Amino acid sequence: MARLNLLLLIAVLGSAVYLVHTQYLSRQLFTELHRIELEARRLELDRDRLQVEKRAQATPLRVEKLAKEQLKMRTTTPAITQYVRADGTVIPAVAPPPATTPAGRAAPSKGAH
C-alpha cells in the first residue's frame, strides 16, 4: 500500500510540475505574441504614413519640378524629338517643308482639288 501511495504521490507531483511548466510556456508565448502584435501595428502605422507621404511627393507638378531642376529634363517638343526606325535611320518628328517646284511654288499636295 505504501508503494502505491508513493507512486500516486510521484504521479501527482509530476503532473503538477508539468502543469506549471506548461503554464510558464503558455505565458511566455502569450507575451511574445503580444510583442509581435504591437510590432505589426507599429509597422502598419509606418506603412500608412509612408503611403500618405508617397502620395504627397508624387504629385505631377512636384515630379515635373524635380525633373527640370535636378535631372535637367525638358518637355519634349517636335523640334527636339527624333524617331528611329528598326534599321537605324532617323526620322525627324517635325514634318519636312513642302516640296517646291522649279518655279519656286509649292507642289500641290495629294488629294487637293
User: pLDDT tens digit string along 64-111?
Assistant: 888 899 998 888 777 777 888 889 888 876 655 555 555 555 555 554
Cβ 93 vs Cβ 78: under 8 Å: yes
Percent of the chain whose pLDDT exceeds 70: 81
Q: What is the pLDDT of residue 83?
A: 82
pTM for this one? 0.45
57 or 113, which is more confident: 57
* Residue 113: pLDDT over 50: no
